[in-house]
């Protein structure tokens, strides 16, 4: 009696590298705590809590969700916060300066 075993292996692709200036740079994973996120965005911690709270009128479904670090500690990936911020800037960037009252006009 002969038994044949077939061994297969699964290759898990590594995360895609970030390309900058035609050179490959590996993204550094950095976890931010809520105080660091607040400082990075120049907002209060209460604003972050509002953005995450489904019942808040200030809820923002696009804001990155935190993940558990252990116990009661939570954190955000810096890259996700950066991506959210860049998207927010792109969506709200003023392209027509006629919409903005220039400071020199008010002086």
Is residue 88 included in any domain, yes or no?
A: yes
Is residue 75 included in any domain, yes or no?
A: yes
What is the DSSP-derived secondary structure letter of residue 24?
E
Task: State which residues form the domain around 46.
Answer: 24-93
User: pTM (2 decimals)?
Assistant: 0.64
- Here the tokens at position 85 are 């911020």
Number of domains in the chain: 1
pLDDT by position in tens, the chain (length 107)? 555 544 444 444 444 555 555 444 445 789 999 999 999 999 999 999 999 999 999 999 999 999 999 999 999 999 999 999 999 999 888 776 666 666 555 55
Question: Which domain CATH number covers 29?
Answer: 1.10.1660
Is residue 100 included in any domain, yes or no?
A: no
Tell me the C-alpha to C-alpha distance, in Å, between residue 89 and each of 32, 42, 73, 83, 94. Answer: 20, 14, 29, 10, 9
Is residue 44 included in any domain, yes or no?
A: yes
């Amino acid at each position: 009696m002969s038994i044949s075993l077939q061994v297969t292996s699964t290759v898990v692709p590594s995360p895609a590298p970030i390309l900058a200036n035609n050179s490959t740079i590996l993204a550094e994973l950095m976890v931010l705590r809520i105080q660091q996120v607040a400082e990075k965005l120049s907002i209060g911690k209460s604003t972050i809590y509002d953005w995450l709270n489904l019942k808040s009128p200030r809820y923002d479904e696009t804001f990155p969700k935190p993940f558990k670090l252990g116990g009661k500690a939570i954190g955000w990936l810096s890259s996700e916060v950066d991506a959210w911020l860049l998207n927010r800037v792109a969506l709200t960037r003023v392209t027509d300066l006629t919409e903005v009252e220039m400071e020199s006009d008010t002086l």
